[in-house]
Chains A and B, each alone.
Chain A
Amino acid sequence: MSISLKNVSYNYKGKYQTVRAVDGVSYDFEAGKCYAIIGKSGSGKTTLLSLMAGLDLPTEGEIIVDGKSTKDWDRNRMRREAVSVIYQNYNLFPLLTVQENIQYPLDLKKVPKKEAEALGRKVRERVDLSENYDKRMPAHLSGGEQQRVAIARTLAQGCKIILADEPTGNLDSTNTRNIVDILCTLAHDDGCTVIIVTHDPSVAEQADTVLQMKDGAWI
Chain B
Amino acid sequence: MFFTIKRFKRAPLPAVAVLLFSAVISVIICALHASNEAEMRNYEEVYRTVPVEVSVTGLTGTKSNDLEAPEWVLDIFTGEKNLPVLLDGYVKDIQVMSSHIAYSVNGTDSGVILHGITSRSCDQLLRPENGCDILWFEGYDETVFGGEEMICIIPEGKSALDNGNGEVVLNFKHTVSQTEINEFQCTLKIVGTYIGGDKSSIYCPFTVVDRIYGALGEGLIIDTLSATLADNERLQEFRNIMKYWFLEPTPLGQQVYWGRMGYSYYPYALDIDDSILQKTADILQNSIRINRICTAIIFVISAVAGFLIGFLMIRNRKRDIALMRILGKSNVAVYWSFVLEQMSCIILGIIAGGAYNLWRPINRIAIFAMIYYIGLSAALAIFLRKNLLTTIKEDE
Q: Which residues on A are within 8 Å of B, measured CB to CB?
A: 46-47, 50-51, 53, 55-56, 76-81, 84-85, 89, 91, 93, 95-96, 100, 104-105, 107-108, 153, 157
Contact = CB atoms under 8 A, between A and B. Distances in A.
**Which of B10, B327, B387, B393 has the most A CB atoms < 10 Å from its CB?**
B327
Given A95-B6, A95-B7, A100-B6, A157 B327 contact: yes
Contacts of A81: 328
A51 B320 CA distance: 20
B125 interface: no
A85 B328 contact: no
Nearest to A166: B396
Contact of A55 (B326, B331, B396): B326
Contacts of A53: 326
Contacts of B393: 46
Interface of B: 2-3, 6-7, 10-11, 319-320, 323, 325-331, 387-389, 392-393, 395-396
A157 B323 CA distance: 14
B320 A80 contact: no
B3 A104 contact: yes
Contacts of B11: 95
Contacts of A78: 328
A76 B3 contact: no
14 contacts: A46-B393, A55-B326, A55-B387, A79-B325, A80-B327, A85-B326, A91-B326, A93-B320, A100-B6, A104-B3, A108-B327, A108-B328, A108-B329, A157-B328
A212 to B, nearest CB: 21
B36 to A, nearest CB: 43
A80 B320 CA distance: 16
B330 A76 contact: yes
Given A95-B7, A107-B3, A76 B329 contact: yes
A93 B327 CA distance: 11
**A-B interface, 9 closest residue pairs, ranked by CB to CB distance from nearest:** A80-B328, A79-B328, A56-B389, A55-B389, A55-B388, A76-B330, A50-B389, A95-B10, A76-B328
A79 B389 CA distance: 14
Contact of A93 (B323, B328, B331, B395): B323
A91 B396 CA distance: 11
A96 B7 CA distance: 7
Contacts of B320: 93
B194 to A, nearest CB: 90
Contact of B6 (A56, A79, A96): A96
Contacts of B326: 53, 55, 79, 85, 91
Contacts of B3: 93, 96, 100, 104, 107
A79 B328 CA distance: 5
Nearest to A113: B2
Given A93-B320, A95-B11, A104-B3, A77 B327 contact: no
Given A93-B323, A100-B3, A100-B6, A55 B328 contact: no
A91 B320 CA distance: 8
Contacts of B7: 95
Contact of B388 (A47, A56, A96): A56
Nearest to B391: A55
A76 B325 contact: yes
Given A55-B388, A76-B330, A100-B3, 19 more contacts: A51-B389, A53-B326, A55-B326, A56-B389, A76-B329, A77-B328, A78-B328, A79-B325, A79-B326, A79-B327, A79-B328, A81-B328, A85-B326, A89-B395, A91-B323, A91-B326, A93-B3, A105-B328, A107-B3
B245 to A, nearest CB: 81
Contact of B2 (A47, A50, A77, A107): A107
